[in-house]
Structure 1
Amino acid sequence: MPGRQGRAERGIASVRPHDLSGSLTRQSILVAATTLVVDCLSFFLTSASSYPPTWRWAVLVAIVLVDASLATAPRWSGVVAVAQAAVAVVGAALLPGGGGPPPQLNSAGLLISAYRAGAWLNTGPAVASLLCLAAGTIAGQLLGGGDFEEGRLLLDPMANALLPWLVGRYTTARRASSPSWNSAPSANSASDGKPSPKPSRRSAAASPTTCTT
């Protein structure tokens, strides 16, 4: 009906761009904070007190920095993925011997950064980020010196890097190809009658793990 259609268009037009930007920013901060808490608690619960305090605090600061970077703009997704992989490798490589089983470092951060890379980056940078995260996961296991089954060298990179990366790619492609998403008028087009442009890959997926540029 014309009356309902007019009210619907006014409702869509009332959603201002800065409101959406603020919502995405808050969501990205929430995801980054939750990831940081999970990684820090996991590190404290799995790192033995026999490890030198200097090493424990240095690794903790590195985890905080790379997990906080998950709240940055989508264009930094590749850099964040490389930083997450670097922490996993360097932290395991510098693990002091004789301190007990290797602790968990930034498993949650690796997973979320893989999702971001898959969702927001173009094919080349996205694949490069995936390979970097997978290599970081494998190297972290080998350098940590812990006892693990050989199958984990394949399963862990698939679970912590490949799977969330694929989910990110699928989510973005789904949003971009959705008829309801492409046909929905924007705040500007609702008032002037012009069709809204087709969203790009970076604008199609309103992911809670990202914030606007």
Structure 2
Amino acid sequence: MSPESDALIDLIAQAEALPEPYLITGPQAAYIYHGWLHPVPKIVDVCIPSLEGGKAAWQAALRPPWTVLAQTPTLSQARLASRIVVLEPCLTEKRYERRVMYQGLAFISAEDLCIDLLHNSKTQIGLAEIAALLIKQKDNLDWSYLLDETGSSWLGHRLLEIVAMVNHEAGRVLLETQSLETQIAPPSNIASIHPGTLKEVLRPLRAQWEAANA
């Protein structure tokens, strides 16, 4: 895992006092797994079961300079605050059971984070972030779980496209595709990633696959 940001260092110091259950998600979790795209240092996304009672519990646990919000901060909120936790009521028992503990904090698993990124990423940077996670965590990922959760939907096809892109741009089989191709259903009414974006999406990641090839 990659070095944590100042905001995570602050949370690590208070880890035992944080209301459970929760999962660190979003860009901070992504950077821990891929070490590529730096998150906004002072904002941490946290998934909890419910905002009812949950927000008050986090406000009680995190004193100033922390600000606890239930939605993405506005530019003015982000500018004025020195530390922000953004709570989202998205935690399920299944995901919590798959949590990864790091420095006393509970993080979303790399596989569940990858699924979220596959579902939500619509920009070239977002697609590159998925590729970065797959490259960095390729030997640690539970591919069976990832395929079970994505293979029968358009997410599986998107995953296969990104894996194929990585291998093409790397000039070798960096990520195995044979098992993916046999388990991922054919796409249905999905707009594929345009081939013309391939180099633009993956160029920033060249250092990662060159390191993997060293």
TM-score (norm 2): 0.25
Structure having the larger proportion of residues in helix: 1
Answer 1 or 2: higher relative contact order, Cα 8 Å, separation at least 6. Answer: 1
Q: Which has the larger radius of gyration?
A: 1
TM-score (norm 1): 0.25
Structure having the larger proportion of residues in strand: 2
